[in-house]
A = this chain, B = another copy of it.
Amino acid sequence: MSEAIQSDLSVVALAGGVGGARLVDGLHRALPQGALTVVVNTGDDFQHWGLHISPDLDTVMYTLAGLSPEDRGWGIEGDTFHVLAEAERRGVDDWFQLGDRDLLTHLTRTGALARGDSLTRVTAELCRTLGVDRPILPMTDAPRPTRMVTQGGDDLVFQEWLVKLRAPAVREVRHEGTHEATSEVLKALDAADLVVICPSNPYVSINPILTLDGIADRIRSTTSVAVSPIVGGKAVKGPLATMLPEISGREPSAEAVAMHYEGLLDGYAVHPGDSFEGSVPLLETNILIQSKEDRVLFASELLEFARSL
């Protein structure tokens, strides 16, 4: 794929955590400066130790900054945990793993929000200090907490459900709070030639974005492709494989996710062996991104596929 083919595309990627961040990193490297805007889920945002924590924004930022660990979906490579150890020592709530370097991100964000800065502006400033030069946009500047209603009937904040209780069986996922995307997000989608829905969890990472006012309409009117977060019936990362049957009644498969996105997609990338008869063209290729080089190769392949649609 030539650079000319890529450089005339304006791309918006919708991303949640790890899987999303790795594809975004590939797109970031495959596309010229200015061509990519990343819109990130903030439904997982929560308060811990009085800090505003934005897990998906941080994962995307750290990945693009080259700071993410290869073997872990959160935090900063080689970070230390001295503040957390003190919390353990004092018997303070220590279920959420906060590294020392990572903590500065939450401190900076919380301080700036308290001074009245928007999350969009705070994120831009964090990106600047981390040396990330591509726009990363929170989906909204207002709270939009994802609530997990378990089959046991508990109604939980997302991170408590995922990290503290280790993802008990789910009956329903609810999106509370605002319905308004930021004007920056809507403008980026208006200008987009291509929307990429990253291989993030459709229920808890992508739906919070898709269900904001004006987002789904804009995606329908733009060439849009998704990458399956399911490979061979298993989630690439996280609890999606058990959530799919719990919520949709369907077995976990690339196809089940495509059905979830019905009417939105013009193309869909699946892993070899995961093809199915559907209404949109498929790109069947190795979507299990391992190395940083793989990220760029896969992103380039995906962009070429999108251009062909």
Partner of A86 from B85, B86, B90, B104 at Cβ < 8 Å:
B104
Please tell me if the beta carbons of A108 and B92 are within 8 angstroms of each other in the complex: yes
Please tell me if the beta carbons of A92 and B80 are within 8 angstroms of each other in the complex: no
Q: Which residues of B sit under 8 angstroms from A100, Cβ to Cβ?
A: 80, 82-83, 86, 100
Q: Which residues of B sit under 8 angstroms from A114, Cβ to Cβ?
A: 50
Bound complex: CA A80 to CA B80 (Å): 10
If A90-B129, A91-B129 touch, does A83 touch B103 (CB 8 Å cutoff)? yes
Q: Which residues of B sit under 8 angstroms from A115, Cβ to Cβ?
A: 50
State how many copies of this chain the complex holds: 2
Q: Which residues of B sit under 8 angstroms from A232, Cβ to Cβ?
A: none
Nearest B residue (CB) for A92: B108
Q: Which residues of B sit under 8 angstroms from A87, Cβ to Cβ?
A: 104
8 A Cβ contacts from A102-129 to B: 103-104, 107-108, 110-112, 114-115, 129
Partner of A50 from B86, B90, B92, B107 at Cβ < 8 Å:
B107
Bound complex: CA A101 to CA B86 (Å): 5
Q: Which residues of B sit under 8 angstroms from A83, Cβ to Cβ?
A: 83, 100-101, 103-104, 107
The answer to whether A157 has its CB under 8 Å from any CB of chain B is no
The answer to whether A130 has its CB under 8 Å from any CB of chain B is yes
Q: Which residues of B sit under 8 angstroms from A51, Cβ to Cβ?
A: 107, 111
Nearest chain B CB to A280's CB is how many angstroms away? 43
Q: Which residues of B sit under 8 angstroms from A85, Cβ to Cβ?
A: 101
Please tell me if the beta carbons of B107 and A49 are within 8 angstroms of each other in the complex: yes
4 pairs of A and B residues whose beta carbons are closest in the complex = A50-B111, A82-B100, A90-B129, A86-B101
